Every structure is written in structure tokens, then in C-alpha cells.
Amino acid sequence: MSSYLFSFVPNPYAFLFATTLLAVLIIVFRAWRRLALPPGPRSRLPFGFGSSNSGIPQRSAWTEYTEWKELYGPIATFTQRNRRMIVLNTAQASIDLIEKRARLYSDRPRSLITELCGYDDRIFSLAHTDPRFSTHRKLFHGEFGHRFIGQHLPTQEKETRTFLRNILHDPRNFRSHVRRYAVAVIMKIAYGYTVKEDNDQFVGLVQSWLEHTNAHNTKPAQWAVDSYPFLKYLPRWIPGTAFFKFADDQRERNRELLGKPVEWVKGEMKAGRAVSSVVERFIRRVQETKEKEGMSREEEDVVENVAGAMYLGGADTTVSALMTFILMMARNPCVQKRAAEEINNVVGTDRLPEVRDMERLPFVGALIKEVLRFHPVAPLALPHRVMEDDVYEGCRIPGGATVIVNLWSILHDESTYPDHMTFDPERYLPNSSDSDSTKPQPDPRNYAFGIGRRICPGMHLAEISLFLIISSTLATFDISPKKDGRGQEIEPKMEWKNGVVSVCEEFECEIRLREGRKLPVDF
């Protein structure tokens, strides 16, 4: 009988091989489907609409996700509407997937709301498979790579002095001065624009953009249209389509934010007043390779996107780190005193700290590390997307799932950073004892700027900016809690806003010129 059947098969051995292979694949596929998803809170409503315990907290999502580590282990999952979300709560899980399996995990989740807002192709959401991604990253590294970062030092030093001057004359508005400093540095680098002292148009523009975005778009899978694309075809008057209004408003804000500074540079170039900047150099290179003036739409997009990403990424993250620094100094006078004494002993009082002093100020360096650890500027980082089905620690990770790296959990892991809620720069300094328990704890910068291929390209610029402004502030001022009517200190609360970039809530403190401090001649 078998020989009769084989007589109708041109190559019976190939047929047997194909049949066996198909059977094996079916068995493997069924076995894979039987693998459980990572544990996590489950929705109690049908169709993945979620419930109060479906995984998206209203505030401080990073702390709630961290609590899941005790319940579910290093990796957890939940469904937001019909989207599968994977949360990585430990350094090991994040390194194993985001870094070691970068080919699968370096993509960004795409969404309809970003397309409706008109920034689906911006650098912060660009898929790594997009051919423009490498062009954007190359431009970033050409400006902010370790070998090129020194070209921006004069701008950082100048704006540091402006910040100190503003604090000296108006200490109560320290938050505004921090915001101005952050925008001023990146505006000068990206566009060659010098920010005005008061009511600068571009400072107001970026602040308005950030406030609008963080107020309406702070959580993964927040908008129903991302989970149910058919909603974009509904009439705008139907309840539940508020995303249209947000998208229209955001699209106009995007045009202003990304387009206006570039148009300003073009105007300065035509008038012969342009200062060297990222945008100016890019436009000039394009013009030199063309017979006619002007850029193509694609080239316009590249320069707007890259400069805009510098503009936004540098502004909000710097504000977050510096506000955490001021808050921690107001709450930790002993730490502040030790850092100031180190600066006095090493640098003296006749000048401000400079980049060449970094290695000679180990406690100040440790203090900056602790600022980045205590509250990372992006506690949940930017989300990743797994490109195809994967298996980790016996659990199934479905392709297309959104992957959230909980940096706050990693940097508050008690086994790595004991007494993690204490602000303690000494944890990074060598101890005289040879005991393993007293060795310096891991450098939080390994995680604070992200993990894997999508690590922050501006990290070297950020490190220099933080050193200059933090060390100069410590050398010049005393930061203390505000006093009530009876002269008692009011310790500021430690509360942070939700959002991709998290900034501490409003607080008050007193900032005074340090006693006996001599201001530099060029101050």
C-alpha cells in the first residue's frame, strides 16, 4: 500500500521530510501557545477594555509597577484595552531583552494618535527599521558624540553664569530660571539662538508644548483610537472622540515648535547674521551640494525633526534633573555642606568649577549620580515594541506587545541600592573596608539614560551640563527649606508629576548667596 502511495509522489523522501517538518512545527506551535504569558493583573471586563486594576495607575505608575515585582516577579503583563503591555522591573530582565535581544526589542510602538497629531515620523517615535533612523542618529552623534561634545562647552559655561546671576537677583523664581537655562543651552546649540532674559518666545513655546502634551498624553495606550483604529472614521460629534480635538491642537503646536526656529535660522542666514549651529550647518551643507538654493521636503523634515528632538529632549529632561537636585539639597543639608566643602578645598572661591575639575570632585560626582538614581528623569523610559514572538524565562511574549522598562524600579532595587529611599551619594564612593558589602554601588548612569540601542544620544551633553550647573550652584549658594511665620523650617514634600518625563511638583525653598563667597570677576 505504501509503495502504491509513494508511486504518486515525485520525491517520496522530500514528501516524508516535509510532512515530518510540518508535524514538528504544529507540535512546537501548540506547545508555544500553551506557554503562559508573564503574570500580572487581569482585566475583568470583556474585549480587553480593562478595569480599575487593569494596570494603568492614575499617578506614579513606576511605584505601582515596582510593587508588582513582589507579586509577579521581574516581568509582568497587563492589558490596556486590547493592547498587551509588558513591564520589566529588574535590571537583569531589561538587559536580557532590551540589550541582548536588541534586534527584537529596539522598535518603538506606533499609534494612530501620533499620526493624527502629525508627528508619527519624529525622532522620538521613529522605528529603528525606518531608513531615516540611521540618518537622524548620525546627525545626533556628530553633534553630541563623546569626541565632539567639547564644541558646545562655551555655550554651557555662559548659560551657567546667566543662571547663577538670575538666581542671585531673583531666587524665588528658581523654577523659571532652571527652565530658561535648559532651553537656552539647546536653543544656542541647535539653532544659534540666544534666549532673552524675560518672556522669550521660544521658552514659552516649548513650555506650552510640554504642558499640553504631559497633561493629555501621559500613559501608554491612553487613547482608545490606538486600540480601536476604526474610531478615526467616526464623526467628530459622537461622544468618545475627544482625541480629534487633542490631535488638532497638538498638530498645530508641533508645526509651531518644529518649524518656527528653523524659519528663524533661515532668516538669519539670508540677512548674513546666522551663528553656527546644528541647523545652520545642515542647511549650508545642503546648499553647497545643490545648484539651486533651498531644501527638499525630506531634507526639511530631517533638520526639523533632529533639531526639534534636541530642543525637546534637552529642555524637559534637564529641568527634571535640576529640580530634583534643588529639592534634595533643601532636604539634605549635610550632603549639601559636604559637597560645598569639597568644592572650596579643590577649586577655591576665586572661580567657578570647570570641566577639568570633574575628576577632582568625587563627592560632587557621586551627588549627581544620586540625583539621577533617586528620581530618573524618565522613570518608565520610552516604550519599546517587540517585533516578533519571543520566550523569556518560560513565559510567552507576543509579537507587537509594548514593553515598558521601569527604570525607577531598577534604580530603587533594595538588593542593589540598600536603603533606596535615602538620598546618599556615599553609596558610590570607595570604602576603606575590603568587605563586599561596602563596595561602591553600581553607577546609575548605566540605566538613567536608557538601555540598549535607543539610549539617549544627548547623554554626554547632559552630564557636562549637570556637572557645571550643579557644582557652580553648590559653590555659590546655600539651599534651605522655607520657614513659616514662627521661623520653623517647612520640609518640602517629595512628589513628582506623571508623564514620560517626570518633574517634581511645585515646592518652595530659600536660596541665598553662600556666606563668605566671593563672586568671580567675570560673573
Give mean pLDDT, residues 291-302.
Answer: 66
- pLDDT tens string 160-214: 999 999 999 999 999 999 999 998 998 898 889 998 877 788 888 877 777 777 6
Confidence of residue 509 (pLDDT cuts 50, 70, 90): very high
Half-sphere exposure of 180 (CA within 13 A, CB side): 23
CA–CA dist 364, 357 (Å, integer)? 10
Q: Which residues does residue 397 pair with via DSSP β-bridges, in sequence order?
A: 390
Confidence of residue 292 (pLDDT cuts 50, 70, 90): low
Does residue 320 register a pLDDT over 90? yes
Does residue 55 register a pLDDT over 70? no
Confidence of residue 5 (pLDDT cuts 50, 70, 90): very low
**Is 194 exposed, middle or buried, given 0-12, 13-18 or 19+ CB atoms closer than 10 A?**
middle
**Residue ranges per domain, the chain?**
1-34, 35-513
Ramachandran area for residue 136 (φ above 0: left; ψ -120 to 50: alpha; else beta): alpha
Q: Please calculate the CA angle 265-266-272 and round it to the nearest 5 degrees.
A: 90
What residue type is assigned to position 392 of the chain?
A: Y
Write the CA distances from 399 to 22, 37, 225, 290, integer angstroms: 22, 12, 20, 44
Please name the residues in contact with 399: beta carbons below 8 A apart, sequence gap of 6 or more.
Answer: 386, 387, 388, 389, 390
Write the CA distances from 180 to 175, 194, 292, 504, integer angstroms: 9, 11, 38, 17
Does residue 54 register a pLDDT over 50? no
pLDDT at 287: 76
Q: Of 16-30, 145-159, 426-440, 476-490, which range is least confident?
A: 16-30
Residue scoring higher pLDDT (521 or 260): 260
pLDDT at 342: 97
Q: Supply the mean pLDDT for the chain.
A: 81
Write the CA distances from 1 to 7, 20, 121, 399, 456, integer angstroms: 10, 20, 62, 45, 67
Helix axes 153-169, 174-191, angle to 10 degrees: 160
Give mean pLDDT, residues 519-523.
Answer: 59
Q: Which residues does residue 345 pair with via DSSP β-bridges, in sequence order?
A: none
User: Smallest Cα–Cα separation from 81: which of 46, 114, 120?
Assistant: 46
pLDDT at 47: 44
Does residue 65 register a pLDDT over 60? yes
Q: Of 7-11, 429-433, 508-512, which range is least confident?
A: 7-11
CA–CA dist 313, 69 (Å, integer)? 30
Residue scoring higher pLDDT (387 or 293): 387
Please name the residues in contact with 39: beta carbons below 8 A apart, sequence gap of 6 or more.
Answer: 71, 72, 73, 76, 77
What residue type is assigned to position 130 of the chain?
A: D
Q: Which stretch, 30-39, 188-197, 385-394, has highest mean pLDDT?
A: 385-394
Helix axes 333-346, 297-331, angle to 10 degrees: 110
CA–CA dist 234, 224 (Å, integer)? 12
Q: Please calculate the CA angle 382-303-301 and round it to the nearest 5 degrees.
A: 80
Residue scoring higher pLDDT (520 or 121): 520
In three-state secondary structure terms, 75 is strand
pLDDT at 464: 92
Confidence of residue 12 (pLDDT cuts 50, 70, 90): low
Q: Of 104-108, 230-234, 339-343, 493-497, which range is least confident?
A: 230-234
Q: How far is CA 371 from the centre of its chain?
A: 15
Does residue 437 register a pLDDT over 90? no
Does residue 220 register a pLDDT over 70? no
Describe the strand order of the beta sheet including 402-405 as a list of residue ranges: 75-80, 83-88, 402-405, 384-385
Q: How far is CA 186 from the centre of its chain?
A: 16
Residue scoring higher pLDDT (20 or 257): 257
Helix axes 201-216, 174-191, angle to 10 degrees: 110
Segments in 271-406 forming alpha helices (H): 278-288, 297-331, 333-346, 362-374
pLDDT at 274: 87
Write the CA distances from 36 to 69, 70, 234, 360, integer angstroms: 17, 19, 37, 52
- pLDDT tens string 256-287: 888 888 889 889 998 999 888 888 888 887 77
Does residue 463 register a pLDDT over 70? yes
Give mean pLDDT, residues 340-344.
Answer: 96
Does the domain at residues 35-513 carry the CATH identifier 1.20.1530.20? no
Q: Of 129-143, 294-308, 473-487, which range is least confident?
A: 129-143
Q: Of 107-111, 118-122, 432-436, which range is least confident?
A: 432-436
Confidence of residue 111 (pLDDT cuts 50, 70, 90): confident
456 is in an annotated binding site: yes
Residue scoring higher pLDDT (424 or 293): 424
pLDDT at 406: 96
- Give percent above pLDDT 70 in the chain: 78
User: Smallest Cα–Cα separation from 320: which of 156, 447, 442, 466?
Assistant: 466
